[in-house]
Amino acid sequence: MSAFRILAGDTASSARQGTLKTPHAEIETPCFLPVGTRGSVKGLEFDRLEEWDCRAVLANTYHLMVRPGIETIRRAGGLHAFIGWSRAILTDSGGFQVMSLASRRVLSEEGVEFRAPEDGTAHFLTPERAMELQSGFGVDIAMALDVCPPFPAEREEVERACRLSQSWAERSRRAYCGPGLLFGILQGGTHEDLRSRAAGPLAALDLPGYAIGGVAVGESKQAIRRVTAFSAGLLPSEKPRYLMGIGTPADLLESVRAGCDLFDCVLPTRNGRMGHAYTRAGEVTIKHERFKEDLTPLDPACRCPVCRRHSRAYLRNLFVLKDFSAPMLLSIHNVYFYLDWMRTIRAAIGAGTLDKLQAPPEEKV
Amino acid sequence: MSAFRILAGDTASSARQGTLKTPHAEIETPCFLPVGTRGSVKGLEFDRLEEWDCRAVLANTYHLMVRPGIETIRRAGGLHAFIGWSRAILTDSGGFQVMSLASRRVLSEEGVEFRAPEDGTAHFLTPERAMELQSGFGVDIAMALDVCPPFPAEREEVERACRLSQSWAERSRRAYCGPGLLFGILQGGTHEDLRSRAAGPLAALDLPGYAIGGVAVGESKQAIRRVTAFSAGLLPSEKPRYLMGIGTPADLLESVRAGCDLFDCVLPTRNGRMGHAYTRAGEVTIKHERFKEDLTPLDPACRCPVCRRHSRAYLRNLFVLKDFSAPMLLSIHNVYFYLDWMRTIRAAIGAGTLDKLQAPPEEKV
């Protein structure tokens, strides 16, 4: 029996509503996973996420393997026990962070050697090692090790990334021993032919889910949306599709319409810490002078604990004065807003009204 | 009818348990007020404070008068509305911060002129202005404007501070028009004779409560405790006694035994942000190497949301990596710990067992 069940589909788009059963949660899709890089969703208590019926978070294999390391996590009884979260966890494979963060990186057929900039320690990440880590963590959704080419990149580099990603997906599949679901990752940059060519052999591995990788690495928003829609169409429709690292509320709606089911993004927490709040009317940059006397909440229709209590004027004052609570409060609002937005999207698919749903504008308020 | 009711007294000490009725809350005493300098208790949501039955917080008149200023707060409908907290608020008068923070300070009979280092704006704080501000805020407990001498100080300087504080308390009393309770402040540094001499005329003003000011400004812990006990004995026993700006859990117990009823201190939040956690076994400095593999909570007997979920090893890893959640989680624990400690003290007085209550050691774990 498949872990993924599609319960409703949209007639006007490729959107679908469903559930994904993992060892620790039944995830309602489309679903946004708050990012908990080192096992904390920055600025939020897990109690809040539970209260808001958040069923899954993302953590980064790369960060966790460098510190505290797999041994500490194993001794704690796995990642759930170590971080104190008993619902689902998805970990990326570490491939993306190695490419974007690590120094003295050497890529070979075997894997990728690198030094962690945090402490200079040497690591060798192979598909087998990535699986050993994620199995040791005991996560609900593990990701195959892939190679994510930068943007822009020579076509040859993207071709090599596709070839290695396929070979590593096969090795990941052989090496992974649970307890979660292993997802493969489709690469190919902005080249539709390369993505098409990569999708077949990847789908043939019959993994429980597939991710669209290598998007939002520097290309235009138009390119991101085009590649996302094109890639989603290449992946098996009966499997959950996970769009990695994206995006704004409008991006999420657009990608749901393209047929994507799972999402993660640092925007709500990172932007919250920087003073940007998502609202139904657009983005509020709280430091702006024009909010100085604004006694309305960030979003008058929002039911989050911040909007229920605090005005823009209050939050602006805290932010201008660099009060520690300010980035925390905006992060709380933003994550609530994202989870609520996904709930709205799911309900619209179920009710057959997704075509009428309008995303918040991406402009500033 | 007096706002303060004593419900139980300790036979072995001057401790008493009671209630203080203010416009927004019935405060159970002895009570610790978390510090919300600019109207936020750093790192904590007000929802948490309500959930833990916290009935009162402190905010700083000085910070609020500089930013956002009284006009914004008035337009919001008062300080409760502006910060989103509907229980009791106590504000200090601004005197202490002017003395410790402001530059180009000129003290006269009339008041104190200063420039705010935040933005260079000039302010003139008089007893009448301090009352206008606190009345405009609409706080539950307002403090008379006082002069807090530094430590060490010439005896003459302390004498002048006492004289001005008495004169300003009289003017504060005439000027204050509610809606809260006005408290006077006893000064006198470490000089028992000066405190004795100041207490009589201050008590004669028959204010609804009195604070012990000018302690913990640089003197030894021994001197703090001696001056606190001596000062408490000088203040009317039927009025609530508020010990300003103190202290550790052990200081609180000691000061309760000396007859103090209200407390505020930045320690739980400031130390939380610095990585220090209060526990029944002493202070945990979470960054220490020895907590690296420690899978126990900060305090195994603590029921706070952090101790219910997270281990020292997890918190240490976040702290070492400067994760935004780390100072937040320690602040949450510390404030919970303080509120819980006061609950324990109140229960012990009520049960007649305060003499057997032992404070957490002040040593490091």
Quick one: pLDDT at residue A295?
98
Whether this prediction's pTM lies above 0.95 is answered by: yes
Does residue B95 register a pLDDT over 90?
A: no
Give catalytic status of residue A146 as yes or no.
Answer: no
> How confident is the prediction for chain A on average, in pLDDT?
97
Does residue A101 register a pLDDT over 90?
A: no
pLDDT tens digit string along B145-198? 999 999 999 999 999 999 999 999 999 999 999 999 999 999 999 999 999 999
- The answer to whether residue B51 neighbours chain A at the CB level (below 8 Å) is no
- The answer to whether residue A295 neighbours chain B at the CB level (below 8 Å) is yes
Residue range A82-99: mean pLDDT, rounded: 94
Task: Give the strands of the sheet with A16-22, arranged side by side.
Answer: A4-9, A16-22, A25-29
- The answer to whether residue B303 neighbours chain A at the CB level (below 8 Å) is no
Characterize the bridge pairing of strands B4-9 and B16-22: antiparallel
**Nearest residue to B248 (alpha-carbon basis) of B229, B275, B276:** B276
Quick one: pLDDT at residue A255?
98
Cis check for the bond before A179: say yes or no (omega within 30 of 0). Answer: yes
Quick one: pLDDT at residue A1?
65
Residue range B72-99: mean pLDDT, rounded: 96
Quick one: pLDDT at residue A117?
85
- The answer to whether residue A78 neighbours chain B at the CB level (below 8 Å) is no
Question: Closest residue of B to A307, CA-based?
Answer: B84
Q: Which residues 253-282 of A are in CB contact (within 8 Å) with B?
A: 273
The closest CB to that of A295, out of B76, B309, B329, belongs to B76
Size of chain B in residues: 365
How many angstroms separate the Cα of B8 from the Cα of each of B11, B29, B178, B353? 10, 10, 29, 12
- The answer to whether residue A314 neighbours chain B at the CB level (below 8 Å) is yes
- Give the Cα separation of B306 and B324 in Å (integer): 15
Q: B325, A72: Cβ pair inside 8 Å?
A: no
Quick one: pLDDT at residue B1?
65
Does residue A64 register a pLDDT over 80?
A: yes
**Nearest residue to B122 (alpha-carbon basis) of B65, B164, B61:** B65
Quick one: pLDDT at residue A46?
98
Residues of A in contact with B74 (CB under 8 A): none
Q: B332, A46: Cβ pair inside 8 Å?
A: no
- Hey, is A5 helix, strand or coil? strand
Q: How many beta-carbon contacts under 8 Å exist across A and B?
A: 119
pLDDT tens digit string along A7-26? 999 999 999 999 999 999 99
Q: What is the 3-state secondary structure (H, E, C) of B119-185?
A: CCCEEEECHHHHHHHHHHHCCCEEECCCCCCCCCCCHHHHHHHHHHHHHHHHHHHHHCCCCCEEEEE
Q: B320, A67: Cβ pair inside 8 Å?
A: yes
How many angstroms separate the Cα of A82 from the Cα of each of A47, A55, A208, A264? 16, 17, 26, 21
- The answer to whether residue B179 neighbours chain A at the CB level (below 8 Å) is no
- Give the Cα separation of B178 and A339 in Å (integer): 44
Quick one: pLDDT at residue B83?
98
- Give the Cα separation of A248 and A134 in Å (integer): 28
Give catalytic status of residue A264 as yes or no.
Answer: yes
Q: Give DSSP secondary structure letters for B33-79.
A: EEB-TTSS-TT--HHHHHHTT--EEEE-HHHHHHTT-HHHHHHHTSH
Does residue B122 register a pLDDT over 70?
A: yes
Q: What is the 3-state secondary structure (H, E, C) of A98-112?
A: HHHHCEEEEECCCCE
In angstroms, the separation between the Cα of residue A314 and the nearest Cα of chain B is: 6
Q: B84, A309: Cβ pair inside 8 Å?
A: yes
Quick one: pLDDT at residue A88?
98
The closest CB to that of A325, out of B43, B293, B317, belongs to B43
pLDDT tens digit string along A277-303? 999 999 999 999 999 999 999 999 999
Question: Closest residue of A to B70, CA-based?
Answer: A293
The closest CB to that of B305, out of A47, A85, A325, belongs to A47
Cβ-in-10-Å burial (0-12, 13-18, 19+) of A128 comes to: middle
Q: B293, A72: Cβ pair inside 8 Å?
A: yes
- The answer to whether residue B310 neighbours chain A at the CB level (below 8 Å) is yes
- The answer to whether residue B122 neighbours chain A at the CB level (below 8 Å) is no
Q: B82, A313: Cβ pair inside 8 Å?
A: yes
pLDDT tens digit string along B214-237? 999 999 999 999 999 999 999 999
Q: Write out the two tokens for B74.
A: 């008035």
pLDDT tens digit string along A320-333? 999 999 999 999 99
Residue range A44-69: mean pLDDT, rounded: 97
pLDDT-derived band at A241, boundaries 50, 70, 90:
very high
pLDDT tens digit string along B53-67? 999 999 999 999 999
DSSP-based helix, strand, coil % in chain B, nearest 5:
40, 20, 40
Residue range A111-121: mean pLDDT, rounded: 89
Question: Closest residue of B to A43, CA-based?
Answer: B325
Residues of A in contact with B83 (CB under 8 A): 310, 314
> How confident is the prediction for chain B on average, in pLDDT?
97
Quick one: pLDDT at residue A95?
87
Contact B328, B48 (CB under 8 A): no
Contact B66, B116 (CB under 8 A): yes
Does residue B98 register a pLDDT over 80?
A: yes
